[in-house]
Amino acid sequence: MLEVKDLVAGYRGVAVVHELDIAVAAGEVVALLGPNGAGKTTTMQTVAGLLPKLGGEVRIDGRAVGHRRPHRMAAKGLGYVAEDRGLFAKLTVDQNLRLGLPRSARRGGNRKRLLAEIDDAFPALGPLAGRPAGLLSGGEQQMLAIARAMLAEPKILLIDEMSLGLAPLIVQSLLPVVRSVAERGAAVLLVEQHVPMALDVADRVIAMSRGRRELEVTVAEVHADRSIVENAYWGNTDRQ
């Protein structure tokens, strides 16, 4: 569903991500791991269309998307939960959610169905419907950001640093929701600093260091030998 081939990405023409390959199938969660400065967020922003590619190719469902702006990527079926959550702070929870509805679902039964699914996935948001997003706690804001992305029923969901600034209990409550998105047929690419939490939800792991892919393994392989990810995380592999 998502293919990134030989991606070169960076800022003002200076590359910080080099010849990166990523593939995520429908129904799969892939965790993109690495230390600060590895290029994870740069990768996510480039795939989402927030940064122009310096080289390489991004494909959605087998088709190259070229240099497309974020709203065009969204129209192609890509949802993005940014590291800063990207909420409209002065708008209410309900208003933020309605902005996530696709045009085809802003009226009628499909709209009701989608909003009902969000109520089931995030019951804590219901009582907060009239509260401005800027007044929510960090965990509530992350719930809202993921819920808004889910409303568009994306083919691909990118989530950048889901656990950032959140208590472990809140993150644990969000993991089943991320898994449910994949079970509905979406491809999920998750950037996460907290490795154990990433392993709880992912099928495969890609480790980055210094802008390059160091390792790609299944979660089962990581559980068998945790050191393989720890070494790749810090760039201690032999890339032959």
| 80-138 pLDDT, tens digit each | 999 888 899 999 999 999 888 877 665 555 778 888 888 888 999 999 999 999 999 99
Walk me through the domains of the chain, giving residue ranges and CATH numbers.
Answer: 2-77+154-233 (3.40.50.300), 90-153 (no CATH)
160-206: pLDDT as tens digits: 988 888 888 888 888 889 999 999 999 999 998 888 888 999 999 99
Q: Read off the tokens for 105.
A: 């679902």
Give the 3-state secondary structure of residue 200: helix
Nearest to 71 by CA among 48, 46, 55: 48
Look at the chain and count its residues: 240
Predicted TM-score (pTM) of this structure: 0.88
Q: Give the integer Cα–Cα distance in Å for 161 and 2.
A: 19
